Amino acid sequence: MMRTIRINKWFGGAALVLAGLLAGYLLFSNGVPSHDRETGATAEHAEHQDAGEENDGIEYWTCSMHPSVRADEPGSCPICGMDLIPAYAEKDEKKDAFTMIMSEAAMQLARIRTTPVVRDIPEKIIRLPGRIKVDERQVTNVTAHFAGRIRTLHVDFTGAPIRKGQPMATIYSPELIGAQRELLEAAKRADRSPRMVESAREKLRRWELSDTQIRNIEQQGEVQADLEILSPVDGFVLTKNISMEQHVEEGTILFETADLSRLWAVFEAYESDIEWISTGDTVEFQLRGQPGKTYEATIDYIDPVVDPNSRTVNVRADIENPGGRLKPEMLAHGAVSARMAGAQLMVPASAVLWTGPRSILFVMDTDGEQPRFEAREVTLGPESGDFRVITEGVEEGEAVVSHGVFRVDSEFQLADRLSMMNREPGRGVVPVHDHGMDGDSGMDDDNADSHEDMDMGEMDMDKTGPSDIQQKVSDNFRADFTGLIHNYLNIHEALFESDLQKAREAGKNFMQTLASIGEHRMSGEAHLAWMEFYQNLEAHAAPIEDGESLEQVRNDFRFLSNILLEALISLGAETDFYQQFCPMAFDGQGANWINDRPDIQNPYLPETMPGCGEVKKEITSGARE
């Protein structure tokens, strides 16, 4: 039995080596002479050394399984132990600081996919949080028109329904008694001075006594010490400002009432979304208290003033309320399906590496023998669902990289060409990553033996989606990665508190935790993905530790957030997290961050707009059962 196991392992190892050589052939076949391809790249290197020939054209040595490993001389891969193979300098007559060529095999291993630039009418569903409000035009105040003392309350609680003409309270008032005496005296002389009688009646009408009350005073022929205050409208009591035996002055508001048969649905729209919304648009909304029920209303008013704290604009719609099912202050979730006026150039949002208004995407040109990728700076327009409007930088029909963008960007960065991290190519300043050439692989114990038994199915990136990558993430790594995110949350907390020193300390802890995790973890595609994320996380987190100002740290934090968010979605974590977004950050450019709870604590604008933002996505736990 032991002999069988050793034979199987021998064949498995041999198959692994052959598979690695095949991958190296696919990736780097441009530099291998055709007459030596059958012997393989390692044999070719040995032949060259035996002959004492120089390795002309070899740019560096790399691993067929781990292309990011680069060495100045031959040796073994620090990750999987396979012999390094030569990577020859590109035979590219058009080589410049903005383009690179890539073989079809390399594209497949990197899972690169492209999407054509399209010209279409941008559409967007605008999500609008809101509330049901009382229609201010239906509010009526019941006011004391003379000083007096409240003797009786017929309506004695807030929320009570009322009808027009219904008694609400009785009041004793010396002024009212005097006005009654004037009426009775004038009534005695009605034959001689009818105008005096009418004048006395009009005075009482202005104090909102009804004609019935005035006739009763005249018919009884005597002053009534207490008179009733009547409701002027149908509706409900919103506020009650008086109590029994309370003295009131002229002008005191006794009750605030409202007719609730018509209400307002008031929604909050971010500044960046206002251009999409117009009066006359239909808004569909649901109420938290009535799940499954959808209402429709027409937007008839957009507030001309922006709220300086939330940076939002109120959008209002009138709604009918038959049967009183809708209640003021109910929470509403609205949506407006909007379209821009004309057609625009659009690309998938995943194609854009967002570094500000002028961001980067990669355009693929297939006119040559091998696909050429060009880094383009583009000017962004508004978002349109899963697409982004591009106002400058691309043309209709061009193919842009929509999947595998970070991998292409990493290659551009390593080659000292224009990339998200390298905005000034050609200076020779390229991040150097030590891949453990001293023999320390950096792998943890639970993965140290995994390379021995790894088969090529684990490397088949064409058949593996993000959910498949999560299945290959080890439990130990996931626990460490979750801890790294919690270090990130400490930076978020410090920025929300505007504490520069605390943010720098949190950035230092993040870097230490990242280093303790190590670049070389797991195996196969999961390892390749983490290695790429590691390098970008390291590059974006390092400046936070030495940040000279909150403004600088916040700018570095937004790029770190984008990379960490991509890693979280790809690799998963032990607990749930939330992608949150503020459209007002960085002068309207907008910025993401990660939180472990849905509450908004804006790390970019805590002094002016601490609650500005929304939950864009809930990222559920990737832990395996």
Q: What is the tens place of the pLDDT at every residue in 198-231?
A: 899 999 999 989 889 998 998 888 888 899 999 9
Range with lowest mean pLDDT among 50-54, 470-474, 532-536: 50-54
Over 90: is that where the pLDDT of 359 sits?
A: no
Burial tier of 49 (Cβ tally within 10 Å: 0-12, 13-18, 19+): exposed
Dist. CA 484–CA 622, nearest whole Å: 15
Q: E strands along 561-613, which residues?
A: 577-582, 591-595
Alpha carbon distance 605, 496 (integer Å): 8
Q: How far apart are the C-alpha atoms of 358 and 536, rounded to whole Å?
A: 20
How many Å apart are CA 615 and CA 448, to the nearest integer? 39
Residue 401 has pLDDT above 90, yes or no: yes
Asked if the model's pLDDT at residue 427 lies above 90, the reply is no
**What average pLDDT does range 154-159 have in this prediction?**
92
Query: Other C-beta atoms within 10 Å of 209: how many?
Result: 22
**For position 357, what pLDDT does the model report?**
56
Q: Please give the pLDDT value at position 42.
A: 38
Q: What is the pLDDT of residue 66?
A: 59
Q: Report pLDDT for 439.
A: 34
Which stretch of 304-318, 395-409, 425-439, 558-572 has the lowest confidence by average pLDDT?
A: 425-439
Question: 7-30: string of b/e by CB count within 10 Å (b at 16+)?
Answer: eeeeeeeeebbebbbebbbebbee
Nearest one of 481, 470, 469, 474 to 450, comparing CA atoms? 474
Range 286-289 contact pairs with CB under 8 angstroms and sequence separation of 24 or more: 286/332, 286/333, 287/132, 287/326, 287/330, 287/331, 287/332, 287/333, 288/330, 288/331, 288/332, 288/333, 289/327, 289/330, 289/331
Judge whether residue 387 has pLDDT over 80: yes
Q: Is the pLDDT of residue 431 over 80?
A: no
DSSP 301: E
Nearest Cα to Cα of residue 375 among 357, 359, 391, 355: 359
Handedness of CA 301, 305, 307, 311 (dihedral sign): positive
- What does each C-alpha distance from 86 to 24, 58, 73 come to in angstroms? 9, 6, 9
CA 221, chain centre distance (Å)? 74
How high is the pLDDT of residue 546? 85
Q: Secondary structure of the chain: what % helix, strand, coil (to 5)? A: 35, 30, 35
Alpha helices in 319-461 (DSSP H): 405-414
Question: What's the confidence (pLDDT) of residue 459?
Answer: 31
Task: Please report the pLDDT score of residue 24 as a whole number.
Answer: 43
Residue 27, pLDDT above cutoff 70? no
Helices 405-414 and 524-545 pack at an angle, to 10 degrees, of 60
C-alpha distances in Å from residue 387, one per residue of 51, 124, 184, 336 = 56, 9, 80, 17
Among 13-27, 112-126, 465-479, the least confident range: 13-27
Q: Is the pLDDT of residue 547 over 60?
A: yes
Tell me the pLDDT tens digit for each residue of 266-278: 999 988 788 889 9
Answer for the pair 121, 339: CB distance below 8 angstroms, yes or no.
yes
What's the burial of 244, exposed, middle or buried (CB within 10 Å: 0-12/13-18/19+)?
exposed
The three-point CA angle 603-605-609 to 5° equals 115
Rounded CA-CA distance 413/432 in Å is 10
Rounded average pLDDT over 193-200: 87
Mean pLDDT score of the chain: 79
pLDDT of residue 91: 55
Q: What is the enclosing helix (H) or strand (E) of 12?
A: helix 2-28
409 in Cβ contact with 420 (< 8 Å): yes
Q: CA 620, CA 400: separation in Å to the nearest integer?
A: 30
Pick 91 or 294 by higher pLDDT: 294
Judged against a pLDDT cut of 90, whether residue 185 lies above it is answered with no
Please give the pLDDT value at position 94: 59
Q: Which residue has the higher pLDDT, 43 or 358?
A: 358
- How far is the C-alpha of 85 from the C-alpha of 44, rounded, in Å? 10
pLDDT at 2 over 80: no
Of the pLDDT bands very low, low, confident and very high (cuts 50, 70, 90), residue 433 is very low
- Span 88-119, pLDDT tens digits: 555 555 567 788 887 776 677 667 889 999 99
Confidence band, pLDDT 50/70/90 cuts, at residue 608: confident
Tell me the residue type at 593.
W
Domains and CATH numbers, the chain: 2-89 (no CATH), 94-122+340-420 (2.40.420.20), 137-258 (2.40.50.100), 260-335 (2.40.30.170), 464-619 (no CATH)
User: Tell me, what's the pLDDT at 468?
Assistant: 60
Q: Stretch 597-607: mean pLDDT, rounded?
A: 92
Instruction: Find the range with the poorest average confidence among 111-115, 180-184, 442-446, 593-597.
Output: 442-446
pLDDT at 12: 42
pLDDT at 393: 92
- Mean pLDDT computed over 306-316: 88
Looking at residues 329-344, what average pLDDT do you find? 90
Question: 286-325 burial, b for 16+ CB within 10 Å, e for fewer?
Answer: bbeeeeeeebebebeeeeeebeeebbbbbbbbebebeeee
Q: Looking at residues 352-356, what average pLDDT do you find?
A: 72
Higher pLDDT, 301 or 472: 301
